[in-house]
Amino acid sequence: MATNESVLTGEPEAMLKEAMTSENYRHNPCPFLLQGSLVENGTGKAVVLAVGDNTNQGKAGLSTNIEEEQTPLQNKLDTIAN
């Protein structure tokens, strides 16, 4: 199976995925399908290990959710608006 992971990794070429076995585990760099990947060709079965905020992409999104304080300009605009 070949997957396009460019949304996450920026790699333009498809990544080949194959089932992990005792014979190929040292040579198979990443058997995981990442959230947002597109299967370009082939077939396969998958086991879902994480969804939503529990995925790598979800955790990255949570780390960017920071409460922002108002800037001095926003404070002045609020004063004028009130």
**What pLDDT, in 10s, does the model give residues 52-79?**
888 877 777 776 766 677 888 888 999 9
Question: Using CA of residue 12, residue 18, residue 19, residue 23, what is the dihedral sign?
Answer: negative
Instruction: Quote the pLDDT of residue 65.
Output: 64
User: CB-hemisphere CA count at 13 Å for 49?
Assistant: 9
Choose between 30 and 81: higher pLDDT. 81
Q: Is the pTM of this model over 0.75?
A: no
Instruction: Quote the pLDDT of residue 41.
Output: 92
Q: What is the mean pLDDT of the chain?
A: 82
Instruction: Quote the pLDDT of residue 66.
Output: 64
